[in-house]
Structure 1
């Protein structure tokens, strides 16, 4: 895995309630849809990886986007059958790659993903004004 490319992690064990009719978990179907979309776009530099569980069972299907020195994003409630979700993730990757520290305000993210965000976490050594050091308060 290269530190110079974003990493898109996809929970492979997420269930979307269609397992009986499709024969596969929602997470694995979402991963296949994302892989197919990204494979068609050779200009997209990203590492895709499957994760056995991302502990967000109440909000499946889950993905996270991270890169060394950049913010990490977690999105849930993605529908493996919704063709627009993989497209929105590819659009997000392009914006993320160009943004300083990968920081994307709500309005900078693809509209389809805005309500699906579960978390935005700063890199350890962030220069972002969103992050400040908390010094212990002296006990009175």
Structure 2
């Protein structure tokens, strides 16, 4: 995968409670719904990938958005069969690509992705004012 594009990772093993009804896991259905919009993903400059488990079983369905030298975001509680969630993810990618270091405050994210964020992680070499170096206190 190229470091030049953002990567949208989808947990493929997430369960949403509709597996018996649909015959597939929620994560797989979310990936299918997003993949159905592949032209929009390509236009937004994002690469799609599946992950076997993202260890957030209490908050399925899970996605993350990341890129080298940019913030990483993790979102949960996405509903695979709701077009509004897919639309919000595509809008998120566009906003992410246009933000310095990919940093998005809560108000800058699509409304559907404001409350269900599970984490926002700065890049290792971030210039953001959110990040400060913690040096050990010198022993006296």
Q: Bin the TM-score by the shorter chain.
A: over 0.9
1:87-110 CA-partner distances (Å, limit 9, x unpaired): 000000000001000000000000
Distance 1:125 1:44 in 2: 25
Q: What's the counterpart of residue 9 of structure 1?
A: 9
Structure 1 unaligned segments of length 5 or more: list them. Answer: none
Matched length: 140
Distance 1:26 1:87 in 2: 17
Distance 2:98 2:18 in 1: 36
Distance 1:44 1:119 in 2: 22
Distance 1:101 1:57, change over 3 A: same
Q: What's the counterpart of residue 101 of structure 1?
A: 101
1:85-132 CA-partner distances (Å, limit 9, x unpaired): 010000000000010000000000000110110000000000000000
Q: What's the counterpart of residue 112 of structure 2?
A: 112
Distance 1:67 1:133 in 2: 22
1:76 aligns with 2:76: yes
Contact 1:38/1:90, CA 8 A, preserved across alignment? no
> What's the Cα RMSD here?
1.2
